[in-house]
Amino acid sequence: MTSQSSDFTSNSAQVQGTNDNSIVSKLSMVTQGYLEDKYLKYFVQKPQRRSPIINRGYYIRSKAVRHVLAKFLSARSNEDVQIVSLGAGFDTTFFNIRDLMNESATKHLKYIEIDYPSVISRKVKLAQAADLLEGQNLQNDKNIIYRNENYCAVGFDLRKVGAELAETLQNCGINFTVPTLFLSEVVMTYLTSGQSRNIIKWINHSFRNAVLVVFEQMLPTNGFGEVMLRHFETCGSPLLAIRDYPTLLSQKKRHNVLGFKTVVGVDMVSFYQCNVSSEEKEKIQNIEPFDEYEAWHQTCLHYFIMCSTNSEEESVQEFCKTCLKCHESEKPEVKAEEVSISCKEPFSSIQMFGHCASSVATGNKDLEKQVDDVILFGGFGLSTQNQRKKDHHRRLHDGTLLNIPNNNLKTLTPSNIEFKTPMYSSIVQKPNHEKTQFLLFGGRSSPKMTTNDVSLITINKNCTEHDIKLIPSQGTCPNARWRHTANVLQFVNNCEDDQHTMLVYGGRDELNVHGDCWCLNMNTFIWSNVESKVGEKDIVLGRHSHSAVKCGSEKGDILFISGGLDCNEEPLNDVLSLKMLSHSKALIDRVDIHPKLPQLYSHTSHIHTDRYLILVGGVQFPTCKELHENPNSLADQVFIIDLSTNAWIRTVTLKKPFGLNSLMLHGHCSFVFGNNS
């Protein structure tokens, strides 16, 4: 185990600054209605509205801490309650707890906050100015900034934990034998491993019935984790111990070694799934327009809450074991291997997400040929044309043509610059002997501005420009949507008029997740609503951010639909087969894959040799054991399924090359090249 103390020096001023940023974000979250807290406003001078993803992040953080504290208070009803908040900052938990208690229960409460003297002094002054602290200041220690019967504000550097702090807590009226909850909400992560170890050892030595609740970051070595680390380093408050204890399992083992024998912990995905009611989830999903699911789930996967105790009392151990619900599945026994990937110039200059892509088959009506060219449209990122270091990420409206064998890239400028390519649309190639054309469907410019337009894209012969024109669709059209799939299929009865049909499945709009299926005749541009006949098995139809891929057969094309998010934002782990029976009817059934796949979405899929289903990347939800053994197993894996036996036979972890920026394979596009088995 290596300590990072030699690489970083803890910057106390910058760490103290994280309190100011955090409290502004918490107030933004509360103001938007995620949780209630009438006290935060007294500690923020300049309120700011944060983005929806930040509001959600602070919601789940506050919700998790409140959940455990509420369980502790319930378990200690009519008994003495002692809570010590480490690195408390401007946290308002004490004031909210006090409101929940009646006068009789308040007499049993002892709440102590510890932080740097400058931080805790500012907090006390602000609280006094707002008349939040009542009664006489019973200060009787040089480290005690404020003290009354229930509350004590201590100014102390936790890096110097020891006998002096124990004496100060004794002067606060603490009872070292009563069950005492210590709260560390994103605190010890800013200390070195040695410093945080000393805190845990000191708590274990000083309190025989200690409960330690820790909320902080984990998984620093995968793509999202690397970005997370760089963010905190840029802010001047690096995460000093995270590499020594990178996973939840390593954190649990650490606490075991340091005397806390009963340990329970969950990441925020598990917490949200198992500890938040369906009614509250529905409320959260409808507070403000949202379309950052990948960032939301990746953030949740990289934070954990853990509750541990050194107590021998059965009631305290039972509280620790039951305060956090989780469902932990067994790690599947599947052959695993690593494969290194490469990224060549000029393709390394492509930086985008939320785009759509299609292979290009020039003058080939059946579109069945080895892929050499790929076309990209829309999305958000950096333009491949005239990139400069100071370029800002933005909405992209140019097209990009990649020629894989010749390793070159062309930017396709729109001939009609008024057209703004939406994000999360779909694109398929329209069969045409004479022209290279594509159909672009759906997408959004914002979560409130969705389209169901069909646009015809024509590439000029020199592959330098593209012309886009809106196609007036006929018949009843599908609702506007994004994060859907579109594929070109053939019917079983294979009528010439219906030979080329674009099939659209699923997706979402601002309010609804769709489970419907639509066909567009690519010659007449007439839409048909497809009646989906579901097999005997229980199937979730409504989904978005799924993947769909065609498998050809003598009896007609079959579409394999995998993963996605359902209407409750729950990730799915199923595979469906969709078979067209006519232009208006389809049979949908579930493919029972064994062992069960992990939940995943925002991935891509391919069929190889009409036998193997290949699922690439996506936001994935592996087990705790898998994450401990392979912290990169969140988005950088490929699952291979043998459709002849419905068996998940292989997992491939993609290893990024040295020097490549963080690899996060979600919201991407992928293609299979070559015919090697």
Domain's final residue, options 272, 290, 322: 322
What tokens were used for 467? Answer: 């012309």
Residues 423-448 have pLDDT tens digits of 999 999 998 777 889 999 999 999 99
Q: Are residues 538 and 593 in the same domain?
A: yes
Write the burial class of residue 444 (CB in 10 Å: 0-12 exposed, 13-18 middle, 19+ buried). buried
**For 403-424, what is the mean pLDDT?**
81
Pair 235, 14: CB distance under 8 Å: yes
Pair 437, 458: CB distance under 8 Å: yes
Instruction: Name residues whose C-beta falls within 8 Å of residue 94's C-beta, 6 or more positions apart in sequence.
Output: 85, 111, 113, 150, 151
Q: Which residues pair with 619 in a beta bridge?
A: 601
Residue 396: inside a domain: yes
Check residue 210 and give its pLDDT: 98
- Tell me how far apart the alpha carbons of residues 23 and 91 are, in angstroms, rounded to a whole number: 7
Which of the four pLDDT bands, split at 50, 70 and 90, describes residue 329? low
**Other CB atoms within 10 Å distance of the CB of residue 658:** 6
Of 5-14, 436-445, 662-671, which one has max mean pLDDT?
Answer: 436-445
How many domains, in total, are found in the chain?
2
Domain's final residue, options 299, 322, 345: 322
Residues 598-647 have pLDDT tens digits of 999 999 999 998 999 999 999 988 877 777 777 766 667 899 999 999 99
Residue 330 amino acid letter: E
Q: Are residues 231 and 126 in the same domain?
A: yes
Check residue 371 and give its pLDDT: 66
Residue 287: inside a domain: yes
What is the helix (H) or strand (E) element at residue 29, kind and residue range? helix 12-31
Residues 528-556 have pLDDT tens digits of 999 998 877 788 899 999 999 999 866 67
Residue 136: inside a domain: yes
- Considering only 49-63, 378-392, 574-588, which range has the smallest mean pLDDT? 378-392
Q: With pLDDT > 90 as the criterion, what percentage of the chain qualifies?
A: 63
**Other CB atoms within 10 Å distance of the CB of residue 610:** 11
Residue 329: inside a domain: no
Check residue 228 and give its pLDDT: 94
Residues 493-528 have pLDDT tens digits of 545 454 689 999 999 999 999 999 999 998 889 999
Measured distance between the N- and C-terminal CA atoms of the chain, rounded to whole angstroms: 42
Residue 393 vs residues 248, 291, 351, 352, 387: alpha-carbon distances, Å: 34, 17, 9, 9, 11
Residues 556-574 have pLDDT tens digits of 789 999 999 999 999 999 9
- What is the four-CA torsion angle of 262, 267, 268, 273, rounded to 10 degrees? -80
Check residue 659 and give its pLDDT: 58
Q: Are residues 172 and 50 in the same domain?
A: yes
Q: Are residues 289 and 414 in the same domain?
A: no
**CATH of residue 65:** 3.40.50.150
Residue 635's nearest CA partner among 648, 626, 625, 646 is 626
Q: Are residues 281 and 345 in the same domain?
A: no
Residue 666: inside a domain: no
Residues 268-286 have pLDDT tens digits of 999 999 999 999 999 999 9
- Any idea what DSSP says for residue 623? -
- Considering only 184-188, 325-329, 537-541, which range has the smallest mean pLDDT? 325-329
Residues 94-149 have pLDDT tens digits of 999 999 888 778 888 999 999 999 999 999 999 999 999 977 787 878 999 999 99
Handedness of CA 39, 42, 47, 50 (dihedral sign): negative
Check residue 221 and give its pLDDT: 87
What tokens were used for 389? Answer: 């270091």
Residue 33 amino acid letter: G
Residue 300 has pLDDT above 80, yes or no: yes
Pair 545, 552: CB distance under 8 Å: no
Q: State which residues form the domain around 533.
A: 335-381+392-655
Q: Are residues 231 and 343 in the same domain?
A: no
Residue 327: inside a domain: no
Check residue 393 and give its pLDDT: 77
Q: Are residues 183 and 232 in the same domain?
A: yes
Write the burial class of residue 331 (CB in 10 Å: 0-12 exposed, 13-18 middle, 19+ buried). middle
Check residue 385 and give its pLDDT: 63
* DSSP result, 214-276: EEEE---SSHHHHHHHHHHHHTT---SSTTTS-SHHHHHHHHHHTT--EEEEEEHHHHHHHHS
Q: Is the peptide bond before 246 cis (omega within 30 degrees of 0)?
A: no
Q: Are residues 215 and 178 in the same domain?
A: yes
Q: Are residues 301 and 353 in the same domain?
A: no
Q: Which residues pair with 382 in a beta bridge?
A: 351
Q: Are residues 399 and 306 in the same domain?
A: no
Check residue 348 and give its pLDDT: 64
Residue 191 vs residues 147, 237, 241, 304: alpha-carbon distances, Å: 27, 10, 7, 17
Residue 674: inside a domain: no
Q: Are residues 556 and 486 in the same domain?
A: yes
- Tell me how far apart the alpha carbons of residues 358 and 373 are, in angstroms, rounded to a whole number: 9
What tokens were used for 268? Answer: 């925020």
**CATH of residue 632:** 2.120.10.80
Q: Are residues 349 and 300 in the same domain?
A: no
Q: Is the peptide bond before 346 cis (omega within 30 degrees of 0)?
A: yes
Which of the four pLDDT bands, split at 50, 70 and 90, describes residue 389? low
Domain's final residue, options 292, 322, 352: 322
